[in-house]
Structure 1
Amino acid sequence: MLKYHKNIFSLLLITLIFTSCEQKEQTTNTQASIEVGYINVKKEPISVELELLGKVKAKEEALIRPQIGGIIEKQLFKEGSFVKQGDILYKIDNSSYKASVNQAQALLNSARANLKSLESKQRRADELLKFDGISQQEVDDIKASFLQAKALVEQRIAELENTKIDLARCDIKAPISGYIGISNVTVGALVNANQSEELATIKDTKTVFVDLTQSYNEILALRNIINFEDGISVNLKFDDNTPYNLEGKLEAKELSVDENSQTVTLRAIFSNPNNLLLPGMMTKATLKSQKEVNGFLLPQQAVLRDQKANPIITLITPENKTTTRIIQIQRSFENSWIILDGIEESDKIIIEGLNKINNRTTVIAKDLTNKYKD
């Protein structure tokens, strides 16, 4: 009887073991078949955009400095206002310069009178020489004195012109039209010729430059997509992402690379009729390529990194298994990566469920192409 019970117990134990193994195998098989979402991407023309930070600069900028020394007598402009070329900005006390002009004029008059006297003397000497009434040596001496007097007159004319120029410089005028900033001097201040500190600054902002910096390596990487010599369209945004409503053009590229930052400066030009772009402000600039490139736009979430940081995509094989492939990313575009090659339009690229699978997983594929289109 005891032997019978032992046999029954052994049979039940074996049955339980087989049942447990069968359930475990079924569970394993069920876990191995995981539903994932995939997409097919099509090669299409892509108009590439490049976003950079830019700094606004005035197209023309004049630092106002005196060309003579003296006391500031008047300031004739309102700080922050628009001034026209030729407007008088400051007046320097001109009394000493007027005196210099008068003195130079008097010296010129004296030199002219002396020249006139010597001219008459030379004519008489020439007549007397015909009748041997004067020696040749005396005639030569009179002629030399006349030429010296003539040279002195020319010297006095130049001196008078210089004093008049200095007198005119007592009126410090705007060399360009534009907006003038805050004055660095006040009435009564002593200024000197060509001093290092400017009196004020005028900036012509009707047209402005926006200087952009870009890594030279990035420019090399983009040379097949964007031609930086073609006058690319440039659009600006302010710090609050408000767009500037006038489009600019890329005008120039620095011909050398900055040794410290390894960057190249790109310069765009913008019309600025409402003076919204102020020198020194930072903006966001978007460069739009004039030509389209054929490539794939792959959603960024479909790309992972391997242990060596290589970008990889995970594909579904015809056997519903998974495999990975290293790709070359050209650059980002909105929420996608631009891929020029390394992908086939028939590839089933997993985009959902990547965190659930490994290289032994059998997948149940679900087409999500329409969901991620556009």
Structure 2
Amino acid sequence: MAAHSRSLKVLSGRRVGVVPAVAAAVLISAVAAFAQTPAPVRVGVAPAVTKEISKGADFVGRVDAVEKVEVRARVKGYLQSVAFQEGQAVKIGEPLYEIEPDLFKADVEQAQGALERAEASKTLSEIQLKRAEELLTKQAGTAVQRDQAAAQDQQSAGAVLSAKANLSTAQINLGYASITSPIKGRIGLTNVTAGNVVGPDSGVLATIVSQDPMYVTFPVSQREFLRVTGDAKTSLDNTGAKLTFADGTTYGQAGKIDFVDVKVDRSTDTITLRAVFPNPDERLRDGQLVRLQLASDAPQSRVVVPQAALLADKDGVYVFVVEDGKAAVRRLKVGGESGSDMVVESGLSPGDVVIVEGLQNVRPGAPVTASPVTQNRS
């Protein structure tokens, strides 16, 4: 009886020991299964869409006046008056500055007197030459006398030419005393005021810039130039262009490319292009920075994705797409920018769902919970 009782205790002890071991094994299996299935990552997604993309591109340019004149004094004298208001529009020939003309008038009169004396001497030398020739014909004079008279006549002719040149110089200098506008445009600040002595060494008195039309010059890298032109045979001459100001507003007048430089700047590896724009309202000002967009005659439908979706590594550019509830890598070949989007040359199709938010927690093959992200795709 005692032996039987001990057997039951031993058996009972073995059964009691089996239950915790089995429970532990089941728990370990459940934990392992849970660890092998990570929780889905919450991500924001947006579809790849098609968009009409022009072949052109955006560039930063600077407005340049077609004509620009630095007004300078060409003779030295006392500045008698300033005949314009700073910032006003001026016409060709409109008076700007007046240098005291009295000294220059005196120079003209003096040169005029010298010319009259030279002409009188020329008249006398002609008479003397004619008389010497007559005497030589009648054998009453000598060849030496005739030659001396001829030489005197030639000297008198030279003196007349010199006197005429001196008179022209004096008259020109008198004209320089009145400084007028050589172009039509708008004049800036004056650097001198009446009462000062001005001359060729006084520097720029004021600057005049033309207003309509205006140029916009901008540098283009060789890569962008080839992308825009497509091939070496394509010409950008007369290609349409639009302008955007610094505040984002669009300039209402359309322009066109009128010049492509014949050489590449070696220091920057860029080509200088120039567009011409009408400026009837004078909204464009010389030196102003603007953004220029080249127009395209034939926009093309291209696949675009938000730039926020793009990632890069040593192998290039890629995005994460959602496939069957999991994240998958797609390698891309991209083109240029289009607003907040990037043009995709290959690697995506319209409708593919790309991840744009929560990328820091995404791994290839990881399950994701996707939510649409609202973005402005203009």
Q: TM-score, normalised by structure 1?
A: 0.83
Residue 201 in structure 1 maps to residue 204 in structure 2 = no
CA offsets 1:283-317 (integer angstroms, 9 cap, x no match): 222233344456421233443233x3731123567
CA offsets 1:91-139 (integer angstroms, 9 cap, x no match): 1111111111111111111111121122223233333333222222212
> Residue 120 of structure 1: SS of its match in structure 2?
helix
AA matched with 1:191: V
Aligned twin of 2:113 = 106
AA matched with 2:334: I
**Aligned-partner Cα distance in 1 for 2:194–2:376:** 69
Aligned twin of 1:278 = 285
Map 1:51-200 onto structure 2 (within 5 A).
51-193=58-200, 195=201, 197-200=203-206
CA offsets 1:7-26 (integer angstroms, 9 cap, x no match): 55445435533553564466
Q: Quick one: structure 1 residues 105 and 33, their matched pair in 2 at CA, closer, same or farther if it must change by over 3 Å? A: closer
Q: Is the 8 A contact 1:225 1:292 kept in 2?
A: no
**Aligned-partner Cα distance in 1 for 2:125–2:271:** 70
Residue 311 in structure 1 maps to residue 321 in structure 2 = no
CA offsets 1:124-160 (integer angstroms, 9 cap, x no match): 3333333222222212221221122122112211111
Aligned twin of 1:329 = 334
Give the Å deviation of 1:209: 1.6
**Aligned-partner Cα distance in 2 for 1:181–1:37:** 55
**Aligned-partner Cα distance in 2 for 1:161–1:228:** 50
Q: Is the 8 A contact 1:225 1:291 kept in 2?
A: no
Q: Quick one: structure 1 residues 309 and 238, their matched pair in 2 at CA, closer, same or farther if it must change by over 3 Å? A: farther
> Residue 209 of structure 2: SS of its match in structure 1?
strand
Aligned twin of 2:5 = none
**Aligned-partner Cα distance in 2 for 1:346–1:367:** 18
AA matched with 2:343: I
CA RMSD of aligned residues (A): 3.6
**Aligned-partner Cα distance in 2 for 1:315–1:103:** 93
Q: Is the 8 A contact 1:251 1:269 kept in 2?
A: yes
Q: Is the 8 A contact 2:71 2:205 kept in 1?
A: yes
Number of residue pairs matched by the alignment: 369
Q: Quick one: structure 1 residues 334 and 372, their matched pair in 2 at CA, closer, same or farther if it must change by over 3 Å? A: closer
> Residue 276 of structure 1: SS of its match in structure 2?
coil
Q: Quick one: structure 1 residues 322 and 157, their matched pair in 2 at CA, closer, same or farther if it must change by over 3 Å? A: same
**Aligned-partner Cα distance in 2 for 1:4–1:222:** 90
Q: Is the 8 A contact 2:48 2:354 kept in 1?
A: no
Aligned twin of 2:349 = 345
Q: Is the 8 A contact 1:225 1:289 kept in 2?
A: no
**Aligned-partner Cα distance in 1 for 2:25–2:167:** 122
**Aligned-partner Cα distance in 2 for 1:32–1:70:** 90
**Aligned-partner Cα distance in 2 for 1:373–1:211:** 30
After TM superposition, the structure 1 stretch with the greater mean CA deviation from structure 2, 179-188 or 291-300, is 291-300
Q: Is the 8 A contact 1:56 1:209 kept in 2?
A: yes
AA matched with 1:95: D
Give the Å deviation of 1:240: 1.7
Ranges in structure 1 where 5+ consecutive residues have no aligned partner? none
Q: Is the 8 A contact 2:328 2:365 kept in 1?
A: no
**Aligned-partner Cα distance in 1 for 2:95–2:350:** 74
**Aligned-partner Cα distance in 2 for 1:34–1:63:** 67
Q: Quick one: structure 1 residues 137 and 94, their matched pair in 2 at CA, closer, same or farther if it must change by over 3 Å? A: same
Give the Å deviation of 1:359: 3.2
**Aligned-partner Cα distance in 2 for 1:184–1:246:** 34
Ranges in structure 2 where 5+ consecutive residues have no aligned partner? 1-7
**Aligned-partner Cα distance in 2 for 1:372–1:71:** 65
**Aligned-partner Cα distance in 1 for 2:317–2:336:** 12
Percent of pairs with identical residues: 27
AA matched with 2:70: L
> Residue 151 of structure 1: SS of its match in structure 2?
helix
Q: Quick one: structure 1 residues 138 and 355, their matched pair in 2 at CA, closer, same or farther if it must change by over 3 Å? A: closer
Aligned twin of 1:242 = 249
AA matched with 1:82: A
Q: Is the 8 A contact 1:79 1:181 kept in 2?
A: yes
Give the Å deviation of 1:52: 2.5
Q: Quick one: structure 1 residues 92 and 44, their matched pair in 2 at CA, closer, same or farther if it must change by over 3 Å? A: closer
Q: Is the 8 A contact 1:44 1:296 kept in 2?
A: yes
> Residue 340 of structure 1: SS of its match in structure 2?
strand
**Aligned-partner Cα distance in 2 for 1:126–1:86:** 54
